[in-house]
Amino acid sequence: MAQCSQSASVSSSANGELKKDRKVAVITGITGQDGSYLAEFLLAKGYEVHGILRRSSSFNTGRIEHLYQNPQTHTEGNMKLHYGDLTDSTCLVKIINMVKPTEIYNLGAQSHVKISFELAEYTANVDGVGTLRLLDAVKTCGLTNTVKFYQASTSELYGKVHEIPQTETTPFYPRSPYGAAKLYAYWIVVNFREAYNMFAVNGILFNHESPRRGANFVTRKISRSVAKIHLGQLENFSLGNLDSKRDWGHAKDYVEAMWLMLQQEVPEDFVIATGDVHSVRDFVEKAFRHVGKTIVWEGKDEQEIGRCQETGVIHVKVDPKYFRPTEVEKERLCVRVWQFGIS
């Protein structure tokens, strides 16, 4: 582990006020859906934002291009980017020591549940141990008393639900490598909070979507496919479990909740959700209605299809390759939603 200098205590009252008024945030996963919305939100509030992004041979900053001072030349303003990785503790220590943030939002993760079954070890390394590396970097740099830490936790922790509604005290039972990795991250945050008196919190967020959601997530796959069908560019697409149910909110609301959690007087974990549940089937039907098509369902299980009532054309098929080995049980979900006064 790389060593970094202990953050010096400020002696003069003037410098003390300056330190107190600093609003400097580090965001892991800044190029993702939530990271880009959070960066926008914090910049609008006068923060200096530092994002950690992985090196890639292709540009992966599409969601934050507009946040550069000059998008054409990638000239940085109040948003500054640093190459780093949650699998590399040395770089995390260097970045935390250099920036000395007042808030850290750990949004970086391998976040696709289905893919986590195929990349189980990598998911554990990034989503689980990566959180420990980031917390340990804060501790190594002597910032446990000055940094507020937000961990992006997930409703996938509940998995095979033990009670309805699910609350902050509901027992966890993850049903995927992603959920299991996030479970370790959840408890290591609690451990650092209790062991080092650190302001560290978990936001147990249910599903939240937006136009910036990755194209291989079901909500964007449906909306993009329906748009292509409407434009005559596609005839049909395939999905997995049509009866899988989720609580879907909008990412913009959820990033505001993240920030609000760090503005509380006492660090506390919260569940963030809408309290409304819809199935994938519902989502498909509503998306097609938006372009003037009515989907009627025929067949069962893997042979089920969705046919356009107006034209008779099959637009939706079921493909078993999209089934999860284990599915979360949210058919009767009704979570308790904390109200933060989100606008």
Residues 330 and 158: their CA atoms lie apart, in Å, by 9
156, 209, 256, 327: the active-site residue? 156
Across the strands, what pairs with 201?
Answer: 150
Structure-block tokens of residue 159: 């998995």
Across the strands, what pairs with 278?
Answer: 246
31, 154, 170, 219: the active-site residue? 154
Structure-block tokens of residue 197: 């008196």
158, 178, 186, 254: the active-site residue? 178
Q: Are 38 and 255 in contact (CB under 8 A)?
A: yes
The string of DSSP codes covering 249-296 is: EEHHHHHHHHHHHTTSSS---EEE--S--EEHHHHHHHHHHHTT--EE
Structure-block tokens of residue 52: 């950690």
Structure-block tokens of residue 120: 């189980």
Query: Pseudo-torsion of CA 331, 337, 342, 343, nearest 10°?
Result: 50
Residue type present at position 153:
S
Q: Which residue has the tokens 């041979």?
A: 57
CB count within 10 Å of CB 158 equals: 25
Return the SS3 of 53: strand
Helix 251-261 and helix 33-44: axis angle, to 10°? 60
- In 3D space, the residue among 154, 39, 160 whose CA is nearest the CA of residue 105 turns out to be 39
**Residue 40 is among the residues annotated as catalytic for this protein:** no
- In 3D space, the residue among 62, 106, 103 whose CA is nearest the CA of residue 84 turns out to be 106
Query: Pseudo-torsion of CA 85, 88, 90, 94, nearest 10°?
Result: 10
**Residue 154 is among the residues annotated as catalytic for this protein:** yes
**Residue 122 is among the residues annotated as catalytic for this protein:** no
Task: Show which residues are catalytic.
Answer: 154, 156, 178
